[in-house]
Homo-oligomer: A and B are copies of this chain.
Amino acid sequence: MGNPLSDDALDQLFRTARTYNGYHDKPVSNEQLAAIWDLMKMGPTSANMLPARLVWCTSDEAKERLAKHALDSNADKIRKAPVSVVVGMDTDFHEHLPEFFPHTDAKSWFAGDPEGRKVHALRNSSLQGGYFILAARALGLDTGPMSGFNNDDVDAEFFSDTPTVKSNFISTLGYGDPETIYARGPRPDFDRFNSIL
């Protein structure tokens, strides 16, 4: 049976980790992006549906294509980060379930329910977004997730060839520069938003 990770690890994952607005001038390799995926893909999704589809913008050109659809305050962060990633979601995830959930006909649970699939895709690709953030931190990197952008425009920019894929959120990625962050937002005590029955 498991034991808690070290205090240093809990700090790196949760307690001293922060959302960064800017990064050190230190590159992030394609191998590191694959290492993040190889961790985050192991996290659970409903019926192993794995709806997340990621576009990692590493070139100045790709970052500019993303930045132009973001709020002004986010666009500059996207341009300057070593990597900026679009976390998308495939609303036709069910097409892959014969491969990813092979022991039963899970595809049929979702095939006739396009509205339900939107909810499943959003819920489960967001779970995967949480895994992405913590996988990056576990590998010594930092993230800057954000929702302030035009989803339809980002979809047209990056997913026009795969119209069942929609953007969920975007994030910057790199080695965070502590000079770029502000005081941490308040966090509520357990009793505020939890009950034990």
Contacts and interface: CB of A to CB of B under 8 A. Distances in A.
Given A6-B9, A34-B194, A130-B131, 4 more contacts: A37-B194, A44-B143, A57-B197, A122-B123
A50 B193 contact: yes
B129 A193 contact: no
Interface of A: 1-6, 9-10, 12-15, 17, 19, 24, 26, 30, 33-34, 37-44, 46, 48, 50, 52-59, 61-62, 65, 99-103, 119-120, 122-124, 126-131, 133-135, 137-143, 145-147, 168-169, 175, 182, 185-188, 190, 193-197
A8 B117 CA distance: 36
A123 B169 contact: yes
The main secondary structure of chain A at its interface with chain B is: mixed
B46 A147 contact: yes
A82 to B, nearest CB: 12
- Number of identical protomers: 2
Contacts of A194: 33-34, 37, 53-56
Contact of A185 (B40, B54, B101): B101
B59 A140 contact: no
Nearest to A57: B197
A197 to B, nearest CB: 4
Contacts of A41: 187-188
B147 A123 contact: yes
Contact of A33 (B37, B131, B146, B196): B196
Contacts of A65: 197
